[in-house]
């Protein structure tokens, strides 16, 4: 599915998201957005470089995604984080790595380096 770019018709009356511009994934046959999904102000589609969303249809990826989602729904964030982290390392998937970090945070892990105690 293509990724389209939008920005506010009147930037000085818009939210930060549409004032600076945002990307939106939609089908080729879908009508262009007319309003910002964040603030509701009018937006226009802008011409940009060609972008496309690439979806990995592999059965392994689908199974991993399904299991991570199951863990998240069950509140087992450390399990979800571990699985997402392992799979992101294997596939070099940055979005999955971000998801792993978010699940680690939800599980109570603190990544703040200032919390290291040397005393």
Q: Could you tell me the pTM of the whole model? A: 0.48
- The pLDDT value recorded for residue 103 is 94
Q: Give the model's pLDDT for residue 3.
A: 80
Number of folded domains that form the chain: 2
Note whether residue 119 is domain-resident: no
**Residue 54 located in a structural domain:** no
Within a domain: residue 71? yes
What residues make up the domain containing 12?
3-46
- Model confidence over 66-119: pLDDT tens digits? 999 999 999 999 999 999 999 999 988 888 999 999 999 999 998 765 544 444
Residue 51 inside a domain? The answer is no
Residue 7 lies inside a defined structural domain of this protein: yes
| Burial of 75 from C-beta contacts in 10 A (0-12 / 13-18 / 19+) | exposed
Residue 101 lies in a domain: yes
In a domain, 87, yes or no: yes
Over residues 24-48, the pLDDT tens digits come to 888 888 899 999 999 999 999 987 6
């Amino acid at each position: 599915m293509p990724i389209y770019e939008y920005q506010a018709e009147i930037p000085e009356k818009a939210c930060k998201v549409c004032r600076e511009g945002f990307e939106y994934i939609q089908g080729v046959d879908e009508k262009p957005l007319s309003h910002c999904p964040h603030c509701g102000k009018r937006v226009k589609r802008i011409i940009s470089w060609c972008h496309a969303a690439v979806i990995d249809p592999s059965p392994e990826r689908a199974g991993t995604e399904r299991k991570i989602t199951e863990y998240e729904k069950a509140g087992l964030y450390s399990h979800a984080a571990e699985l997402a982290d392992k799979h992101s390392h294997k596939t070099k998937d940055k979005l999955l790595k971000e998801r792993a970090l978010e699940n680690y945070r939800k599980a109570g892990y603190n990544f703040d380096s200032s919390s290291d105690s040397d005393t």
